[in-house]
Structure 1
């Protein structure tokens, strides 16, 4: 019986090993030179015949291979006819916080309570998520892991997608506080006997006052003797001193105007609006107040009957042309699985008004600036992390986004996932059928 139990346990562990994420790549051991690719720098520039060298996880050279080919060293990758890009960045994601929606024990995206600035999404991040590893074959190599729920959800962090644990994954700890702004209108609650139509939210102003009161109480506590420990108030200190950005999740025109006033009242220098569905209506105010925007998922339907049918498709392009710093986020239904479509969201912006290099900025340099990581990510430039990939074609087009190599901080990572393994398995099945075997 004892032998049976041991055998069962070993078999179970082996099964877990088969389903776990593959082993993270080893630290870069020698220089790598990518020669001949069309380099999309991420800041709008292109080098047609490029030479990119990186050592010890950092880019040491980006130039024209025609003049500098002799400088190539270490492992040389001939990428002639291919394209090289900086790793794409997925902001406002819950990757690694939920593995299976129907299994409550795997859901760590939300906590009980309303004012939760002390909640840190990073410590709940699962670096071995099978969902997260499916981002990498599309070039999504970095992400902002953000909490959900409550009035103040908590604090996000930036991670890279090839790590043993959350400590290894983190590239920027506790980058920003996330606030869910209330709606000025709501639908009637039919289950309470209310008219199901849309009506003003009578609690809207009260909700805003509750938020302002919390901010005031936190400031008073931090200015006092702090004899009694209060974690939510203590967590606000880094917001007030500017170490943390403030991300406000809001979509309506009136609500965004109220957010702008809240920014002024609370003297919040670095505030980002997430969602921003009605942002075109107040684009001038956003620009005047130096507010950057993470627009919602482009592959969505309009919210209102009288909206342009293609408003979600063209929103990022329209705001960019207004001079607003714009990135794209993908929250919503099945958001974790759909995060892999981030490059194709940017590709949609190409179809609706932006050129390809400007659209690329929406998921590289622009997002890096918004998240405050542009000193080491977002572009292919000397001194930045060697987090990049090589694609056979245009990475913003799902027909040609075919990665051959990818690197995170100079480490060559695997592009195999559970999905690619299943694809290869069933391809063999049909190949055998065609061969009559």
Structure 2
């Protein structure tokens, strides 16, 4: 029996080894020059024939190739006819926290309890997730890993997708606190004999008061002697010191107005709305209070019967046109697998009237500003991390988003995944069938 167990364990480890993530790339050892590509800077600027040089993981030159081609050095990549982009950023993602939804042992996205500001998603992040690996062939090279569940879910951190472990992956730790705002309405619980229709929630104000009480108790605790080492209260220190952004997950118009009032009452300078389904109704208030928005997944159905049929599709575009700082997040059903569609979410904004370079900002510079990493990420500019990729065509169009090269902090990463291996395998099958006819 013991021999059988040992054999089984060895076989299991062998299978894991065969299916493990690609080995993280070696540190950049020489300068890299990308010559001739159309450079989409990420701030609205485009350089038709560009020269981009990066050394030691940092971009050192971005210019017109026709005027500076002789300055190319190190490994030269001829990218004429191709496009180069800054790496796309997936905010409010649970990548690396769950591998297989149906296997509970691989699910570490939430914890038991309501007020959990001390829970850190970063230490649960699995840098070797095969799901996370599938983001890279579409240009999604960074993500904000956020917890789920509870009233206060915990803190998120921002990672890059080429690492041995969470320590190596982290590029900004504990960037923000995530709060799930209560709903002012709820559906009747038919199993308790209630009318199944939508009705005002009697618990709504009580739940807001509970959140306010927690904030007040945390402030009082931090102002005292703190002898009992209360971890949830201690975790609120950076929120009150304005060193941590508060991300409030909320959709309804009334709820968002209550969030704005809460922001003022608690003197929260750095606050972001996540989801914000009804945000078009309060754009003036959002701009007045300098509140950015991470809109929900565009490829969704309307929430309510009276909504425009295309509201989710056009939300990011319309908010941008009205002057709100907008990024796109992709939480919801099968969110981890669908996160690789981030560039096509931005492409949907183009289909609904947004300029292509403005749409690119939704997943690059805008998101970097919202997450507080725009000093080193989000655009192709000198001094920033060389986290970028080369595509054969328009990266916001699924027909032409075909990466040939990708780099994270200057390291040339592999674009192979289980999915690309399967694609190549079955392409060979059909090619053989065609050849045999």
Q: Is 1:68 equivalent to 2:35 in the alignment?
A: no
| Residue number in structure 2 paired with 1:172 | 172
- CA deviations on 1:4-26 (whole Å, 9 max, x unpaired) are 76555443322111111010000
- SS in structure 1 of the partner of residue 405 of structure 2: strand
- CA deviations on 1:396-419 (whole Å, 9 max, x unpaired) are 000000000000000000000000
| Residue number in structure 1 paired with 2:265 | 265
With structure 1 as the length reference, what TM-score do the two structures score?
A: 0.98
- CA deviations on 1:80-117 (whole Å, 9 max, x unpaired) are 00000000000000000000000001000110000000
> Within 1, Cα distance between the matches of 2:298 and 2:120?
28
| Residue number in structure 1 paired with 2:155 | 155
Give unpaired runs (5+ residues) of structure 2.
none
| Residue number in structure 2 paired with 1:107 | 107
With structure 2 as the length reference, what TM-score do the two structures score?
A: 0.98
| Residue number in structure 1 paired with 2:210 | 210
- CA deviations on 1:319-363 (whole Å, 9 max, x unpaired) are 111111000000011100000000000000001121100000000
Q: Is 1:416 equivalent to 2:390 in the alignment?
A: no
Deviation at 1:124, TM superposition (A): 0.2
| Residue number in structure 2 paired with 1:306 | 306
Q: Is 1:133 equivalent to 2:161 in the alignment?
A: no
| Residue number in structure 2 paired with 1:94 | 94
| Residue number in structure 2 paired with 1:405 | 405
> Within 1, Cα distance between the matches of 2:4 and 2:207?
59
Q: From the superposition, tell whether residues 183 and 17 of structure 1 become closer, same or farther in structure 2 (CA, over 3 Å).
A: same
> Within 2, Cα distance between the matches of 1:361 and 1:100?
31
* Comparing 344-353 and 421-430, the one that deviates more: 421-430
> Within 1, Cα distance between the matches of 2:171 and 2:372?
11
Give the CA RMSD over aligned residues: 1.1
| Residue number in structure 1 paired with 2:378 | 378
> Within 2, Cα distance between the matches of 1:416 and 1:296?
29
Q: From the superposition, tell whether residues 2 and 192 of structure 1 become closer, same or farther in structure 2 (CA, over 3 Å).
A: closer
Deviation at 1:193, TM superposition (A): 1.4
| Residue number in structure 2 paired with 1:190 | 190
| Residue number in structure 2 paired with 1:25 | 25
- SS in structure 1 of the partner of residue 400 of structure 2: coil
Matches within 5 A, 1:329-408: 329-408=329-408
> Within 2, Cα distance between the matches of 1:125 and 1:31?
31
Q: Is 1:16 equivalent to 2:42 in the alignment?
A: no
| Residue number in structure 1 paired with 2:220 | 220
Q: From the superposition, tell whether residues 103 and 7 of structure 1 become closer, same or farther in structure 2 (CA, over 3 Å).
A: closer
Matches within 5 A, 1:317-328: 317-328=317-328
> Within 2, Cα distance between the matches of 1:2 and 1:93?
42
- CA deviations on 1:267-299 (whole Å, 9 max, x unpaired) are 000000000000010000000000000000011
- CA deviations on 1:190-228 (whole Å, 9 max, x unpaired) are 111111100000000000000000000000000000011
> Within 1, Cα distance between the matches of 2:61 and 2:156?
32
